Structure 1
Amino acid sequence: MSNLVNTPFGKGMTFSEIEKCREVTPADRKAILDMSDPQAVQTLLMVTPPRPKAITTDEDILMVLRGINFNAGSRSEDMVSLRIWLNAKHIIVSQNLPVRSVDVIQERLATYATPVEVMISLTDEIFNRIESHISEIDGRVDEAEDLALENPDQKHRAQIMNFRRELIALRRYLLPQRETMMTLSRSTSKLLSGDDRETLTNQYYRAARICDQLDALRERLSLIQEEITAILSDRMNKNMYLLSIISLVFLPLGFITGLFGINVDGMPWTGTPLGFVIVCGLCIAAAGFILAVMRKQKWI
């Protein structure tokens, strides 16, 4: 079954979508090769998702982008790979997992006149979804921060760690994607007009802002995690301090009771009924003396 879907648009233009690049038929591969070139075919049909990049010539543009993975059962930080090749008449979009941005562009295909317009609109849609997802993460971080600082515990600390892992994964793909947009904005390809380069430059700035936002969020999460760690450490230190005080108070009491508990001749007050009261008084006096010394030293 063919995985290559060709849709005409504009005046003699063709939008080709490879729905599952791992399952293309020999006929699909030949059709793609007839439209593009061997290097483009290799990238478009690569099994292992390549990192974001852009290669431009006067006749064509080959680029790889990453989009947010909204597919069921997948983690959003495992970004989907989208490979795009275009020339003056054709644009080929290759994916192995469904990408919502591509579906949106297909619905608007009748409004575009050239493959470059499709490419620019597609990258814009991808960045829209990335920004929306990061804003959602920002909101969840706000909620997690309030809960974590109100009642810090290991559960909230683990939640902050999960946020950091998600941001690190996103940043791993979005940093080279920023460089990809810079390469496109500086391209001298004849396919791009001055207005196209200006639009791509704005998209580069947009990608840079997204990366800056990720860095700011990651730094914020680090500060939250440090604050939680400090609060938990302070709480543990207070508990250990309390246990130390209790141990210090009861240490001489244990010595006194141990001393008077030995079974040898010569122990004082063994013949008087007030012996137990006297020993209790000594214990109370020793405890009071230790507490007084600790208070004087401002230990308590």
Structure 2
Amino acid sequence: MKQFAYVDDGATGRVVSPEEAAHANGAAKLVWIHLDQKDDATEAFLADKLKLNHIVVSALTALETRPRCEAMGEGALINLRGLSLQDEPEADELVSIRMWIGRGCIVSVARYTMRPLPTLCDAFKAGKVKDPGDFVAMLADLITADLDPDVAELGDQLDECELMLDASRTFRLRREIAGTRAKAIEYRRFVAPQRQALERLSALDCDWLEEDDRLHLGESADRFARMAEELESIRERAALMHEQITDLRAEVIDTRALLISIVALIFLPLTFLTGLLGMNVNGIPFAHEPWAFWGVVGVCVLMAVGIAAWFRYAHWLR
């Protein structure tokens, strides 16, 4: 779904070429032209066929965009973000659709196909989109309905990680939490300004936005506000869980280091004793007695038990 156009003459929308739609602009009840931002001819089409000013053309063909709404004469320049229809590695988590909307005319430009776009096309062909206000209100509603489950799933993933929080699973959990946090940060980067764009759009002074459209846009803005709050909560929870995992790992390391130190302390006097008695010099006490070896072993065992008992009494061992 790269480039297409619809013309509504009063009954239902019919598919035409972008050139035919540009020719019908002004005569038809409603025209929607969707262009591919990657196409080199898009910029010339916007300037020459649709006679849009250079500011609008630059905004519609810009490589980097963020959600926005700017009134321009009798129309408005609107950028929105939604989930991508295809997984493309070079695309952001949320892909953009740039629109110039005026009375009876909608021009949209996208680099990647947004997931709600086919549903919007079906609604247009079925005659459910009567004017630009219906179009933008329906698009905002579809984007929120599509994105809301993804945001809720991020929260569910963190809930599962919290239940599995254990020192033995820290490596896998750290990767999952880091991935969830990164996705939440990427979503929030566009969700927060999208709320502001929709609020600004709902308050826009234009005759192609009806009261019902403004109510739907306000509802979508409210849902985006809720999603932004949820994403901020996810980000903070993920940071807190990362700290907890770091504390768990530090506790495990401290416990193991303490155990190693205790073992070394137990064997330190034993090593000294065996080293002292193992010197190859005359005068070692009981060197020729048959019970001398087992006597030394017994002394070492008693020393080890005594040192271990003292560590236990001092609460070094638990």
Fold agreement, TM-score > 0.5: yes
- The one of 139, 142, 145 equivalent to 2:156 is 139
Question: Which residue in 2 is equivalent to 1:60?
Answer: 75
SS of match in other structure, 1:263: coil
Post-superposition CA distance 1:222-276 (Å, at most 9, x none): 2332332232322222222221211111111111111111112222111212221
Partners of 2:43 and 2:226 lie apart in 1 by 42
- Report Cα offsets for 1:117-149 as digits up to 9, x if no partner: 101111111111111221233333333443444
Aligned to 1:19: 36
* RMSD, aligned CA: 2.3
Residue 237 of structure 2 is matched in structure 1 by 220
| Letter of the 1:64 counterpart | N
Asked whether 1:265 is paired with 2:259, we answer: no
1:126 is matched with: 143
1:9 matched to 2:8: yes
Q: Secondary structure of the residue that 1:56 maps to in structure 2? A: strand
- TM-score, normalised to structure 1, is 0.89
Q: Which moved more, 1:68-77 or 1:127-136?
A: 68-77
Give the Cα separation in 1 of the matches to 2:81 and 2:246.
Answer: 34
Structure 2 Cα separation of the partners of residues 26 and 158 of structure 1: 42
Asked if structure 1 preserves the Cα contact closer than 8 Å seen for 2:37 and 2:109, the reply is: yes
SS of 2:205's partner is coil
Contact 2:36-2:111 within 8 A present in 1 as well: yes
Q: Match for residue 202 of structure 2? A: 185
Asked if 1:233 is matched to 2:250, the reply is: yes
Checking the alignment, whether the CA contact within 8 Å between 2:36 and 2:42 is kept in structure 1 is no
The unaligned stretches of length 5 or more in structure 2 are 11-28
Contact 2:35 2:42 in 1 (8 A): no
Q: Does residue 1:43 correspond to 2:59, yes or no?
A: yes
Task: Tell whether the 8 Å contact from 1:56 to 1:187 is kept in structure 2 after alignment.
Answer: yes
* Residue pair 2:99, 2:108 contacting (<8 A) in 1 also: yes
Counterpart of 1:267 in 2: which secondary structure?
Answer: coil
Count of residues in Structure 1 that have an aligned counterpart in Structure 2:
296
Asked if 1:88 corresponds to 2:94, the answer is: no
Do the aligned partners of 1:10 and 1:114 also contact (CA within 8 Å) in 2? no
Q: Which shifted more, 288-297 or 254-263?
A: 288-297
Letter in 1 for 2:187: L
Answer yes or no: is the 8 Å Cα contact 1:59–1:189 preserved in 2: yes
Hey, what's the Cα distance between the residues in 2 that align with 1:289 and 1:26?
Answer: 87
Instruction: Please report how far the alpha carbon of residue 14 of structure 1 lies from its aligned counterpart in structure 2 after TM superposition.
Output: 0.2
Structure 1: distance between partners of 2:115 and 2:198: 20
- Whole-Å separation in 2 of the counterparts to 1:256 and 1:150: 39
Moved over 6 A (4+): none
Take 1:162 and 1:274, find their aligned partners in 2: how far apart are those partners?
A: 66
Aligned position for 1:103: 118
Match of 1:277 among 294, 313, 316: 294
- Rounded to whole Å, the distance in 1 between the matches of 2:164 and 2:90 is 24
Letter in 2 for 1:39: I
Which residue among 153, 168, 178 is the counterpart of 2:170?
153
Query: 1:202 aligned to 2:216?
Result: no
Quote the Cα distance in structure 2 between the aligned partners of 1:25 and 1:69.
21
Q: Residue 116 of structure 2 aligns to a residue in which SS? A: helix
**Distance in structure 2 (CA, Å) of the matches to 1:108 and 1:252:** 85
Q: Any conservation in 2 of the 1:178–1:207 contact (CA below 8 Å)?
A: yes
153-162 or 87-96, which deviates more: 153-162
Identity fraction in percent: 27
How far has the Cα of 1:211 moved from its partner? 0.3
The unaligned stretches of length 5 or more in structure 1 are none
